[in-house]
Structure 1
Amino acid sequence: MAETTTRYRERLWPSAVMFIITAVFLIPAVTLVLTPIDAAIALPGAIIVYAIVFAILASLSPTVRVENGMLTAGRAHIPVSLLGEPELIGREELRRAIGVDLDARAHLVVRGWIREGLRIPNLDAQDPAPYWIITSRKPQALAAALRAG
């Protein structure tokens, strides 16, 4: 059986603040809507709605990993050997990179609650995406894993 070598793994979860803010706004709003219908189910119903939203946010959080010479970001994957030198991009650079400077063919795995990431050139001539942009809370570690990949 082949041994799996994982060099990097990160789940792009929303921050705890995002979950708290969602709870602070969603639970009172749903409680307010349900109270005229049935006050007894208002708070439990709001908590159930929040749990559903929490599950959706968690299930939509992609995983970024580098293992066995392959970069996987969400459902997409590419051999590390087909990638160029990763470029660290901070808050302002990221804003430009996914805004005015974006090539529409680029592959993006971006979450708005993560403010930094990498731009990775795609050297595969058969692939229309000129580069990948991936947000990460640990972009230096991801870049190091790609270099070692």
Structure 2
Amino acid sequence: MSDTRAITQTVRYRERLRVPWWFWLPGLGLAALIAAEVNMGVEGLPDWVPYAVLLPVAAATLMWAGRMEVRVVQNGNGPDGAVELWAGPAHLPVSVISRSAEVPRSAKSAALGRQLDPAAYVLHKAWVGPMVLVVLDDPDDPTPYWLVSCRHPDRVLAALRS
């Protein structure tokens, strides 16, 4: 007989890095402007076609830009469950994290500029202010650290440390 116990997953923190609501105004406005230009430039095309094509494309682009998610999950039951940090498609067990800290908005340009190690894993969204820095201690992984955008770094760090 095989063992088919279900493994539970507890989400300690979850955040989707959506674009702010005010990005939608210029995004859809630009699509409408381009649709109006196409209407003026292409004769014989029904007036509604450029709008029917470009407005959904703009909306899909904005939704695609905000699709990434940051989450901290615990796999398994009880305190012995493995905790992982997920940043977009990548995940990292908390057991390989040696240090973690918040990177405030004011230090973000320095962290992503000359100080950035090319081997680091970066999940950066320009519309999200602060970031979390997670330093790794894994001899099998060449990645020295992760830089991950998140709106509430204190909550991410608390979920990683608890």
Q: Same fold (TM over 0.5)?
A: yes
Identity within the alignment, %: 27
Match of 1:131 among 131, 145, 151: 145
Give TM-score, length-normalised by structure 1. 0.89
Deviation at 1:75, TM superposition (A): 0.8
Please give the alpha-carbon distance, in whole angstroms, between the structure 1 residues aligned to 2:100 and 2:44.
55
SS at match of 1:21: helix
Residue 33 of structure 1 pairs with residue 33 of structure 2 = no
Report the 3-state secondary structure (helix = DSSP H, G, I; strand = E; otherwise coil) of the residue aligned with 2:41.
coil
Number of the residue aligned with 2:117:
103
| Farther-moved stretch of structure 1 (43-52 vs 3-12) | 43-52
Aligned residue type for 2:14 = R
Q: 1:100 to 1:47 in 2, by over 3 A?
A: farther
Structure 1 segments of 4 or more deviating over 4 A? none
- For normalisation by structure 2, the TM-score amounts to 0.82
Cα displacement (A) at 1:43: 4.8
CA distance in 1 between partners of 2:120 and 2:145 (Å): 5
Which amino acid is the alignment partner of residue 61 of structure 2? I
Cα distance in structure 1, aligned partners of 2:68 and 2:95: 22
Distance 1:71 1:43, change over 3 A: same
**8 Å contact kept, 2:135–2:144:** yes
Pairwise CA distance, 1:110: 0.6
Bigger mean CA offset, 68-77 vs 34-43: 34-43
- In structure 2, relative to structure 1, the CA distance for the partners of 1:133 and 1:108 (3 Å cut) is same
Residue ranges of structure 2 left out of the alignment (5+ in a row): 1-5, 75-82
Deviation at 1:27, TM superposition (A): 1.3
Q: Quick check: 1:59 aligned with 2:73? A: no
One-letter amino acid of the counterpart of residue 132, structure 1:
W
Q: How many residues align?
A: 148
Decide whether the 8 Å contact of 1:70 with 1:79 is kept in 2: yes
Larger radius of gyration: 2
Measure the CA separation in 1 of the matches of 2:17 and 2:149.
Answer: 8
Secondary structure of the residue that 1:84 maps to in structure 2? strand
The Cα RMSD (Å) is 1.8
User: After the TM superposition, which residues 1-149 of structure 1 pair with which residues of structure 2 at under 5 Å, given as runs?
Assistant: 1-38=6-43, 41-60=46-65, 61-68=67-74, 69-148=83-162
- 5+ residue gaps, structure 1, are none
* Structure 1 contact 35–42 (Cα < 8 Å) conserved: no
